[in-house]
Amino acid sequence: MDAKDRQGEASGLGGPVTRFLRLIRFSHTVFALPFALGAFVVAANGRPSLRTLSLVVICMVLARTAAMLFNRVVDWSLDQRNPRTATRHLLVSKSAALIFLTLSSAGFVFAAAAINWLTLMLAPAALAVIFFYSLTKRFTSATHFFLGLALAIAPVGAWIAQTGHVDLAPLVLGAGVICWVAGFDLIYATQDYDFDRREGIRSLVVKLGIARSLRLAQLLHLGMFAALIAFGIAASLGLFYYSGMPLVAAALFYEHKLTSKLDLAGINRAFFESNAFVSAVFLIAVCLDRLV
């Protein structure tokens, strides 16, 4: 493909803003953000500060943007060889990605500094953890759990933003997020089974096989559900919160029922719709319990 062909294909991917949002999968922000907001509402006992809430949202968006851009940069050549991700490099240039990576990282640190001293002190460590995930596939097959850890920082960080310290409740919720993310990322990774095996990438799906990986995802989501119940106990949540848990269980069951067919459409639908529903139900249940 020559330069003219590449330019034509890139123009068909939308305008600059649209291409950038596609590059960082901005729509997937709905996965982690509700858990951060839920933890924030609980920590504030239903009376969150609008200023701190705004800063938490800004930190979440900037940290996730920086993490996704770092992932795209370090996997630039690898993504071009994977049929599923082959057009990512057409969305923005590598130099532009590096510029936005620097800006979003700096913006995250400045926003964290505006919250409290502890969030400022922990901001570089948070960036290190979320960046480290993108490197793990080069030396471990447990990369799905590192992704879970990267997203689990969100509810813990939101709790610290409100209270200035760490408690048991956000750690329990963070453990649940690790199980949840590792589970659905295992499901998503089944799409790359052939590519990962061919490229020699350290992949838990390649190591275990697709069938056993899907069973492990089921166990992880059972662990996530148990952690949500434990979070309700640790945070002294009530009936409104627990009333939302059957909906969470139903969404997780639906996700695994779809992925058992191993079709690409089913996996993508399960990945986005089911997991977005889980996080939304969690946030609504928390808000109803604390605000009503």
Q: What is the pLDDT of residues 235-262, one digit of tens each?
A: 999 999 999 999 999 999 988 887 766 5
pLDDT value at residue 270: 65
Q: Which domains does the chain have, with CATH numbers?
A: 3-291 (1.10.357.140)
Residue 246 near residue 204, CB atoms below 8 Å: no
Does position 267 have pLDDT exceeding 70, yes or no?
no
pLDDT value at residue 2: 42
- Is residue 274 very low, low, confident or very high in pLDDT (cuts 50, 70, 90)? confident
The helix (H) or strand (E) run that includes residue 219 is helix 210-234
pLDDT value at residue 221: 97
Record the pTM. Answer: 0.86
Does position 179 have pLDDT exceeding 70, yes or no?
yes
Rg over alpha carbons for the chain, rounded to the nearest Å, is 19
Inter-axis angle of helices 117-136 and 50-74, to 10 degrees?
30
Closest CA to 128 of 116, 136, 117, 138: 136
Is residue 128 classed exposed, middle or buried when 0-12, 13-18 and 19+ CB atoms within 10 A define those classes?
A: exposed
Q: Give mean pLDDT, residues 216-225.
A: 96
More confident residue, 169 or 210: 169
pLDDT value at residue 17: 73
- Is residue 263 very low, low, confident or very high in pLDDT (cuts 50, 70, 90)? low
What's the helix, strand, coil split of the chain in %, to 5? 80, 0, 20
The least confident of 104-108, 135-139, 182-186 is 135-139
Closest CA to 23 of 83, 108, 85: 85
More confident residue, 23 or 126: 126
- Give residue-wise pLDDT tens across range 23-70: 666 666 667 799 999 999 999 998 888 999 999 999 999 999 999 899
The residue written with tokens 């901005």 in the block is 26
pLDDT value at residue 22: 72
pLDDT value at residue 284: 96
Considering the chain, what is the average pLDDT of its residues? 86
Q: Give mean pLDDT, residues 133-139.
A: 88
Cα separation, 271 vs 90, in Å, equals: 24
How many other CB atoms are found less than 10 A from the CB of residue 292? Answer: 8
pLDDT value at residue 248: 96
Residue 186 near residue 216, CB atoms below 8 Å: yes
Q: Give mean pLDDT, residues 205-229.
A: 94
Cα separation, 156 vs 159, in Å, equals: 5
Phi, psi angles (nearest 5°) of residue 240: -60, -40
pLDDT value at residue 172: 98
pLDDT value at residue 3: 39
Which stretches of 93-203 are DSSP H helices?
94-113, 117-136, 143-163, 168-189, 193-199
Query: Does residue 112 sit in helix, strand or coil?
Result: helix
Contacts of 83 (CB under 8 A, 6+ apart): 195
Does position 149 have pLDDT exceeding 50, yes or no?
yes
Closest CA to 191 of 202, 205, 181, 207: 205
Query: Does residue 130 sit in helix, strand or coil?
Result: helix
pLDDT-above-90 percentage for the chain: 58
Residue 216 near residue 189, CB atoms below 8 Å: no
Dihedral angle computed from the Cα positions of residues 94, 100, 101 and 105, in that order, rounded to the nearest 10 degrees: 170
Tokens matching residue 157: 């960080």
